[in-house]
Structure 1
Amino acid sequence: MTHYRERLVAPVLWWVLLAGLTGSAWLVYHQVYGPGVSLPVAAGVFLLGAAALLAYGRLLIAVDTDGVTVGRARLPLTALGPAEAMTGDAARTARGPGLDPRAYLAIRGYVPGVVRIGVDDDADPTPYWLVSTRRPERLVAVLEAARQTTGR
């Protein structure tokens, strides 16, 4: 059973910018080469851009009875340490000068909040995970409830 699920999709503005880039590429090539070149170029720009936005914007964060999943990484509940929600200056510091280089990062620049999830496993050199989320307080509450079920 999933207790928390969030997918960090690319913002709508980025799709609008991709449409503008596609239109610009079409216009430039259409003026010089005509529709025989401009249409395939515009289609290629749009398809490559859409593939990049879909790949970058598919980060899944999920908490279930087995553990925490962020992207392809998985942290079992038995290794779950304390979690801390951060926004504003605290989040900027956590993503920048306060960042431990050994941390697992799943951050997106277009999401202002982050959660630092402690890793409580002596065999794991990763001190914590830093995860972008639109609902940091909600994610921390779910993580803390999951920690309570393991008796930590």
Structure 2
Amino acid sequence: MFAVLKTGGKQYKVQAGDVLRVELLAANAGDKIQFNEVLMIGGDAPVLGSPLVAGAAVQAEVIDQIKADKVITFWKRRRKHSSQRTRGHRQKLTLVRVTDILASGAEKSGVTAATGTHAARVAAHNAEAKPAEAPKAKRASKKAEA
């Protein structure tokens, strides 16, 4: 049995045991999550959703929060403009392992829904932020010393 699910603006065809790299989700390593946006369930009796299959879900376990490979962009202006710019970017991803495909009864499973929200991106950014250093003491002026 397989399912086609939608998360992070992308669609994935999955089976039990598959490992996926999906857009950042608000979950920690070891959490069980559930993808409720199932577009199709395939197998002996395929079911197509319009647009989603009612009551279907894909359950998964979060393995880790990772970063994708670095993508480097380079701009260079042409003649008589000696300017160039290099930028890099690493997309934040969540590594998940599909554990089960539910054709019905997703509401009663009690597993938290997978959410890739703005709050997840902000939380991940704050976790990586370095603690602020203490401000340096200002030097005393000459007039204050006298």
Structure possessing the higher relative contact order (Cα contacts under 8 Å, 6 or more residues apart): 2
Which protein is richer in helix relative to its size? 1
Q: TM-score, normalised by structure 1?
A: 0.19
Which protein is richer in strand relative to its size? 2
